[in-house]
Structure 1
Amino acid sequence: MKRIYLNENEKDFIIERKEKEYKFPKLILIMRSELYRGMFLSVTEDKSNKVTDYSELSNKSFQIFEYWIYSNQIINEIQITQEIINETKKGIDYFQLNQTNPNLFDLLINKFNNQNQNQN
């Protein structure tokens, strides 16, 4: 396994959404996402001022990703809709979160199905 060394000044990575910036610890992103693992461990890419724009995700979908990245769980308070599932599928592919265990998409589908069963 490759050891990860981060510069003391580069602990956080900025993810931009519309006018707001979110700081995520790089080590958490490395643990959760193949995309960021490759980005931060690449020797050829300039990583110092990297900002990613996720403005296309709704606030609820971004909250799901934010909570997932930190806790590897789904937020209980958010009602899962088909729109959120569709957005999350795109986000999972972009973040390359398919390898996480448990799988975020499967958990969202299960929660969506349980919500619909409970409404009937």
Structure 2
Amino acid sequence: MKRIYLNENENENEKDFIIERKEKQYKFPKLILIMRSELYRGMFLSVTEDKSNKVTDYSELSNKSFQIFEYWIYLNQIKERIQITKEIINEFQIGIDYFQLNQTNPNLFDLLINKFNN
């Protein structure tokens, strides 16, 4: 299977974007982030934006919330058996503007609210 890059000159070290969480780093494929978020799409495809592997710090999210974010980024859905609590909703509501998660498609916060209400 041939690897797909954002541009022909991109090498193995540039295909991932690092998201930091507490003292651990997670590598997310840029292509997936571009598909899921207007924020990352603008960041990686902008002609004026630095296209380096910037680190985004998501340490503000709890472990459970970060797992929701990670699962959603990869699969574009919320894990079936995960229980959405008021605490998670509040945490996402506080962090959503900071991390610009409201620029995701579909909107992750709306999905969490719908799952919580059901």
Runs of 4+ in structure 1 off by over 6 angstroms are: 1-4
Cα distance in structure 2, aligned partners of 1:103 and 1:2: 31
TM-score scaled to structure 2, two decimals? 0.78
Identify which range, 8-17 or 102-111, moves more after superposition.
Answer: 102-111
Deviations 1:60-96 (A, max 9, x none): 1111111111111101232111110122234443454
Structure 2 unaligned runs (5+)?
none
8 Å Cα contact 1:29-1:69 kept in structure 2:
yes
- Alpha-carbon distance between aligned partners in 1 of 2:96 and 2:26, rounded to the nearest angstrom: 18
Coordinate RMSD, CA, aligned: 3.8
Q: Give the direction of change, closer, same or farther, for the CA distance of 1:83–1:35 in structure 2 (3 Å limit).
A: same
Q: Tell me how far 1:34 sits from its aligned partner.
A: 1.0
CA shift, 1:52, in A, is 0.7
TM-score normalised by structure 1 residue count:
0.77
Residues 15/41 of structure 1: CA separation in 2 closer, same or farther (3 Å cut): same
Q: Which runs of 5+ in 1 are unaligned?
A: 115-120
User: Which range moves more in the overlay, 93-102 or 74-83?
Assistant: 93-102
SS of 2:101's equivalent? coil
Higher Rg: 1
Q: CA deviation at 1:57?
A: 0.6
Answer yes or no: is the 8 Å Cα contact 1:34–1:97 preserved in 2.
Answer: no
* Cα 1:101–1:18 shift into 2, 3 Å: closer
- Going from structure 1 to structure 2, the CA distance change for 1:35 and 1:94 (only over 3 Å counts) comes to farther
Q: How many residues align?
A: 114
Contact 1:36 1:95 in 2 (8 A): no
Q: How far apart in 2 are the matches of 1:82 and 1:24?
A: 28
Instruction: Indicate conservation of the 8 Å contact 1:13/1:50, yes or no.
Output: yes
